[in-house]
């Protein structure tokens, strides 16, 4: 990664964010899954030749999109047998009670005729991030927002191809998907209770539509809200790191599940399933870094996955992992 901004430890990143928050100084933050290579950058210092972002309606990308060739995008996923080996290891851990929801992810080599920066330009997502010579992310999932001292989280759990007959009904009535969503909502509610008061579920299991270059996906989300103290800005870094890793991309119970993830996945997630976002001096918006393409020494790698529970079926989980390998171009 050629970006010149310093890498910070978890402790240094939190203290920097606290300081900027107390000063009401807007900043961008990028935090990797392991919370070991963090960046906290004052907004006025973000160079567009190194980092491009879109966080909600706020972006530093204002270039007109020149005529680009039609997207060509090919994926080369691991075999079902390779996936099955990892899946069975997770199911064994579930059977002995060490975890009851685990987000299992895998890297998939991909190829495209567009550069990562061009993919940033043409993709459509609520949250986007491009880091020069490193990765592009086009995420539909909010991690947390803070608006007028309310903290809001919208975890996404449950995915189906919209072309499936009766897709919405199947998704909302599926036993595995329902149990998984209940679990993650309970986990996020407990997480928010560590930093906020009067935590409540304002909207439960609603459908989001995601347009990909080759399909349309339906995903299930919920909206969980809590009240923060008036001086939350001075502790904004401590608040965010207390909530990490994001529950939707780790599992429950979180501490033990993350240990199992490290032992089972066999690769470095890096910035995938970390978070990124911005503080505007008063409010905050952030995303879970999913839908993620990384530039590796051997080419492009798309990282994707899904939640595994006792009700999971290996072939369905494998297909979901592959369904999530896409570029969102309507």
Instruction: Using the predicted structure, report yes or no on whether residue 88 has a pLDDT greater than 80.
Output: yes
Only one residue has tokens 């347009």, namely: 211
Neighbours of 134 (CB within 10 A): 19
Residues contacting residue 175 through CB under 8 Å, at least 6 positions apart: 311
Here the CATH number for the domain that contains residue 132 is 3.60.120.10
Residue 65 in any domain: the answer is no
Residues contacting residue 322 through CB under 8 Å, at least 6 positions apart: 75, 77, 108, 304
Note the pLDDT of residue 1. 52
DSSP for 230-282 reads TTGGGGHHHHHHHHPSPGGGSEESHHHHHHHHHHHH-S--TTTTSEEEEE-SS
The percentage of the chain sitting over the pLDDT mark of 90, rounded to a whole number, equals 79
Note the pLDDT of residue 104. 98
Helix/strand/coil (H, E, C) string of 279-328? ECCCCEEEEECCCEEEEECCEEEEEEEEEECCCCCHHHHHHHHHHCCCCC
Instruction: Using the predicted structure, report yes or no on whether residue 102 has a pLDDT greater than 80.
Output: yes
Note the pLDDT of residue 182. 87
Higher pLDDT among residues 63 and 296, named by residue:
296
Task: Name the token pair of 298.
Answer: 């051997």
Residue 1 in any domain: the answer is no
200: closest CA among 231, 222, 178, 169?
A: 222
Residue 250 in any domain: the answer is yes
- pTM attached to this predicted model: 0.91
DSSP for 22-65 reads HHT--EEEEE-TTSSSBEEEEGGG--TTTEEEEETTEES-----
205: left (phi over 0), alpha (psi -120 to 50) or beta: left
Instruction: Using the predicted structure, report yes or no on whether residue 177 has a pLDDT greater than 90.
Output: no
- 68: confidence class by pLDDT, cuts 50, 70, 90: confident
329: closest CA among 154, 211, 218?
A: 211
Number of domains within the chain = 1
Instruction: Using the predicted structure, report yes or no on whether residue 330 has a pLDDT greater than 60.
Output: no
Q: Cα angle at 51 between 45 and 52, to 5 degrees? A: 110
Answer yes or no: are the C-beta atoms of 293 and 117 closer than 8 Å.
Answer: no
Phi, psi of 241 (to 5 degrees): -70, -25
Least confident of 50-54, 65-69, 218-222, 298-302: 65-69
DSSP for 187-223 reads HHHHHHHTT-EEEEEEEEEEEEEEE-SS-EEEEEEEE
Residue 212 in any domain: the answer is yes
Instruction: Using the predicted structure, report yes or no on whether residue 42 has a pLDDT greater than 60.
Output: yes
User: CA-CA distance, 30 to 34, in Å (whole number)?
Assistant: 12
CA 286 to chain centre: 10
User: CA-CA distance, 291 to 325, in Å (whole number)?
Assistant: 7
**Boundaries of domain holding 150:** 10-59+70-323
User: What digits encode the pLDDT tens for the residues 225-270?
Assistant: 999 998 999 999 999 999 999 999 999 999 999 999 999 999 999 9
User: CA-CA distance, 118 to 257, in Å (whole number)?
Assistant: 36
102: closest CA among 233, 253, 246, 221?
A: 253
Residue 329 in any domain: the answer is no
User: CA-CA distance, 140 to 137, in Å (whole number)?
Assistant: 10
Residue 4 in any domain: the answer is no
- 49: confidence class by pLDDT, cuts 50, 70, 90: very high
Task: Name the token pair of 1.
Answer: 């990664």
Phi, psi of 100 (to 5 degrees): -125, 0
Residue 129 in any domain: the answer is yes
DSSP for 5-18 reads SPPB-HHHHHHHHH
Residues 200-228 have a mean pLDDT of 87
Instruction: Using the predicted structure, report yes or no on whether residue 124 has a pLDDT greater than 70.
Output: yes
Phi, psi of 7 (to 5 degrees): -90, 135
User: What digits encode the pLDDT tens for the residues 3-19?
Assistant: 789 999 999 999 999 99
Residue 132 in any domain: the answer is yes
Mean pLDDT of the chain: 93
């Amino acid at each position: 990664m050629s970006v010149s901004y310093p890498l910070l430890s978890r402790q240094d990143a939190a203290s920097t964010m606290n300081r900027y928050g107390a000063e009401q100084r807007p900043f961008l933050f990028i935090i990797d899954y392991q919370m070991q290579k963090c960046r906290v950058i004052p907004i006025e210092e973000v160079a567009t030749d190194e980092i491009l972002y879109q966080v909600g309606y706020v972006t530093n990308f204002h270039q007109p999109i020149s005529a680009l060739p039609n997207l060509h995008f090919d994926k080369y996923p691991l075999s079902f047998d390779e996936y099955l080996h990892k899946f069975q290891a997770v199911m064994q851990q579930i059977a002995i009670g060490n975890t009851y929801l685990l987000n299992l992810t895998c890297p998939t080599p991909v190829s495209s005729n567009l550069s990562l920066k061009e993919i940033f330009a043409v993709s459509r997502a609520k949250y986007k991030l491009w880091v020069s010579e490193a990765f592009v992310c086009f995420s539909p999932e909010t991690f947390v927002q803070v608006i007028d001292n309310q903290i809001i989280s919208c975890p996404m759990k449950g995915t189906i191809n919209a072309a499936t007959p009766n897709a919405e009904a199947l998704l909302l009535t599926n036993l595995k998907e329902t149990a998984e969503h209940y679990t993650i909502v309970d986990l996020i509610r407990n997480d928010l209770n560590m930093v906020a008061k009067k935590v409540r579920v304002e909207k439960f299991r609603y459908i989001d539509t995601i347009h990909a270059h080759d399909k349309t996906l339906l995903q299930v989300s919920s909206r969980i809200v809590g009240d923060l103290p008036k001086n939350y800005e001075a502790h904004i870094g401590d608040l965010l790191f207390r909530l990490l890793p994001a529950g939707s991309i780790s599992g429950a119970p979180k501490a033990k599940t993350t240990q199992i993830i490290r032992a089972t996945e066999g690769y470095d997630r890096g910035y995938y399933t970390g978070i990124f976002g911005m503080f505007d001096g008063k409010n905050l918006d952030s995303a879970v870094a999913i839908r993620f393409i990384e530039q590796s020494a051997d080419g492009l790698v798309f990282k994707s996955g899904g939640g595994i529970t006792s009700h999971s079926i290996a072939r369905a989980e494998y297909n979901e992992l592959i369904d999530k390998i896409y570029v969102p171009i309507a």
